[in-house]
Structure 1
Amino acid sequence: MIIKTPNLILRPWEESDAECLYHFAKNPNIGPIAGWPPHENVEDSLNIIRTVFSKRETYAVVKDDVAIGCVGLLFHPDTNHWWGEGAVELGYWIGEEYWGNGYAFEASQALIRRAFDELDVDEIYASYRIENNQSKRVLEKLGFKYYSELVNENYLGEFFQEVAMKLEK
């Protein structure tokens, strides 16, 4: 499945994206705020492409033939939390060099449309670390509403607070 938006292409991740993924995912401003460690080498990135990014409805966000980020819908049991039947979890990140261009919003909006129009999804949840105001703004612009506050655990075993938001069909 390939999804085209005015500025982006959402397409499945390819193994040939590993070097590009590593370029963005090694940045400590990207992964830790989303709860995952910065990638240490291209092999880490290739492994993520083969496992995490190979799940259904997970897409490379591509701008000018460069995979600049990721957007995906997580279905239970791959979600970070159990949201209920007919619900999915939205996740996204964009490489820091591309922040401030509305790409997280644009990619997420396209995937939300697909979820509601083609995938028989009733509710979409998303969460962000309480200090991640950029992600909060993206979700509010997409129409998500406050749902609850949660405590989650990161890859280092540290606990952090996050806000869960909900979007209904």
Structure 2
Amino acid sequence: MNAEITLNGEILKSERLILRSWKLNDLKDFYEYASVDGVGQMADWMPHKNIEESKEILLHFIETKNNFAIELVESKKVIGSISLELCKEEFKKDFKNLSGRELGYVISKDYWNRGYATEAAKALIDYCFKEKGYDYLYCSHLERNYKSKRVIEKCNFTFYREFDYDTVLNTREKVLMYVLYNKQEERA
């Protein structure tokens, strides 16, 4: 079951990051990382072709209120996003009578391998479990996306299942799915 979420106005802070609602003046930073080859494809979206495409997607983020900008505390630069997506229809039966969402994230290629995705994910997991009382979160990655797999492992998700997926690149790839239960609500 999909947990209710509205991230409008919420601000989460970690040691090096601020997770906050998107603003129109984030457009330049968003386009800067979303247009780079190799970033979006790992999350099954194509690099943005122009700033107008980024603006359209940014407006969607602002409207849906389920996606945080990941901002560096030190420089105030937006280097990625982290979201709580609706549970996919085919997985709803797996989490019957439980409240949760799918966790997704992307980090600018310029900031890979610095622990930012893990730090952002841990902050959002803590918020979902302690503040919102979610029962679970799940996330997944393309089998070849080892960087995302490492983030998932560091956040203590447990392997749940694998499935085949048709990507935006017109390939069929194996996806690995993981789940993390709220400790107070952990299921066997």
| Fold shared per TM-score above 0.5 | yes
Match in the other structure for 1:25: 34
Q: Does 1:149 align with 2:166?
A: no
Q: Report what 2:78 is aligned to.
A: 67
Aligned to 2:126: 113
- The residue number in structure 2 matching 1:14 is 23
Query: Unpaired runs of 5+ in structure 2?
Result: 1-9, 183-188
Instruction: Quote the offset at 1:137 in angstroms.
Output: 0.7
RMSD: 1.6
Q: Which residue of 1 aligns with 2:106?
A: 93
Which residue does the alignment assign to 2:56?
47
Does structure 1 retain, via aligned residues, the 8 Å contact 2:85–2:102? yes
Measured against aligned partners, the alpha-carbon deviations of 1:95-140 in whole angstroms (never above 9, x if no partner) come to 0111111000000000000111122210110000001111101100
- Say which of 135, 146, 157 aligns to 1:133: 146
Query: Which deviates more, 43-52 or 130-139?
Result: 43-52
Decide whether the 8 Å contact of 1:127 with 1:164 is kept in 2: yes
Q: Which residue of 1 aligns with 2:117?
A: 104
The alpha-carbon deviation at position 90 of structure 1 amounts to 0.4
Using structure 1 for the length normalisation, give the TM-score: 0.92
Q: Where in structure 1 do 4 or more consecutive aligned residues deviate above 4 Å?
A: none
SS at match of 1:51: helix
Of stretches 127-136 and 152-161 in structure 1, the one that deviates more from structure 2 is 152-161
CA contact (8 A) 1:53 1:59 kept: no
Show structure 1 runs of 5+ residues with no match: none
1:36 has 2:45 as partner: yes
Partner of 1:168: 181
Check the 8 A contact 1:73/1:91 in 2, yes or no: yes
Number of residue-to-residue matches in the alignment: 167
CA contact (8 A) 2:22 2:61 kept: no
Q: Counterparts of 1:140 and 1:54 in 2: how far apart (Å)?
A: 31
Q: 1:54 to 1:161 in 2, by over 3 A?
A: farther
1:22–1:42 contact (8 Å) kept in structure 2: yes
Percent identity of equivalent pairs:
33
1:24-73 deviation digits (Å, cap 9, x = unpaired): 01111110111011101111111111114542331000012111000111
1:12·1:54 contact (CA, 8 Å) conserved in 2?
no
